[in-house]
Amino acid sequence: MLLFCRTLNREHICFQSESRVSAQLFCSLFEAVFRKKLSITEHTRKNGIILCSCDTDGDTAQEVFQKYRLSDNKRLIDSEIIATNSLGVFTAGVFLACGSVNDPNKEYHLEFACPEEGLAQQLATLLGDIGVTAKTVVRRGQHIVYIKGSESIEDTLTFIGASQCTLELMNTKIYKDIRNKANRIANCDAANIDKVVKAAMKQIDDIKLIDHAVGLDTLSDELREVAQLRLDNIDMSLQEIGETLSEPISRSGVNHRFKKLAKLADEIRGGSYEK
């Protein structure tokens, strides 16, 4: 979090975040290491977003630089961190310092707004080492490391320990996939769906007529089962009905049984039915 904070020099250190929780965590960790309390100040941008800042004085900044042997010229990720199993925790800190993830209902996008180009390049390489494809771009003076694609974002969130966010993202993806599929079906197969619904309604009318006139109990087991399935499931296709039967049959087999029911209903309507 320290390495990727907004300002890092021997005169001044400033951690800044839109998340008060992240700012509080930075202050807590800083106090645990240096035994010095930092206060959080808030100011509102023109766009209404509230920024939380934690600032140090010059003496404290000097102490930080001495403890971690930081360079005055450029920020670099310590190779010892890369070589240990603490990389996931480190990356989590980077995300808290400069990361953000879009609302998955709109776009799959996760990014890190790095303060220096060298850090951005190192971070992109680290993410690549764990199998995540990350790209870099300069935007408004910031060096952005960004990740596209739901699976890559899920892998990154899991790597930094945000498993709950990963599950929420996966659920959103599943919902979007189902919704998009439904929309495609609605757009491409509206006429077919209308035909299926009309056929099902006709079958239900026939079955209800038979039930009222002679009772479904008078039907054979095969016809009674398919009739009851249709009454209980207006949206089932012929194939689905066939697969649901106690003894599954093909779509054409189901259609043949409905034709028998339709013929029986027509006989009842025409008065030619004989028990």
pLDDT at position 233: 85
Q: Which of 230, 258, 254 is nearest to 242 (CA)?
A: 254
Query: Could you tell me where the DSSP H helices lie in 100-162?
Result: 117-129, 150-159
Report the percentage of the chain scoring pLDDT > 90: 29
Exposed / middle / buried, residue 228 (Cβ in 10 Å: 0-12, 13-18, 19+): middle
Please give the sequence-ordered ranges of beta strands (E in DSSP) within the chain, or none if there are none.
7-8, 13-17, 40-44, 50-55, 99-101, 109-114, 135-139, 142-148
Mean predicted confidence (pLDDT) in 202-210: 91
Q: Are strands 109-114 and 135-139 parallel, antiparallel or unpaired?
A: unpaired
Decide if pLDDT at 135 tops 90: yes
Instruction: Give the 3-state secondary structure of residue 80.
Output: helix
Three-state SS at 109: strand
- Find the mean pLDDT for residues 70-91: 76
- Whether pLDDT at 182 is above 60: no
| DSSP letter assigned to residue 141 | T
Residue 129 has pLDDT above 90, yes or no: no
Position 203 confidence tier, pLDDT thresholds 50, 70, 90: very high
Q: Are 43 and 26 in contact (CB under 8 A)?
A: no
| pLDDT score recorded for residue 112 | 94
How far apart (Å, rounded) are the C-alpha atoms in residues 101 and 109?
Answer: 6
Can you list the domains of the chain with their CATH numbers? 1-73 (3.10.28), 83-169 (3.10.28.10), 190-270 (no CATH)
Strand partners, 43: 51
Q: What is the pLDDT of residue 193?
A: 65
pLDDT tens-place string over residues 95-105: 889 988 887 77
What's the pLDDT tens digit per position in 21-49? 888 989 999 889 888 899 999 988 888 88
| Pairwise pLDDT comparison (194 vs 82), residue with the higher score | 194
Q: What is residue 173's predicted lDDT score, i.e. its pLDDT?
A: 62
Confidence band for 75, pLDDT divided at 50, 70 and 90? confident
Does residue 191 surpass a pLDDT of 90? Answer: no
pLDDT score of 161: 82
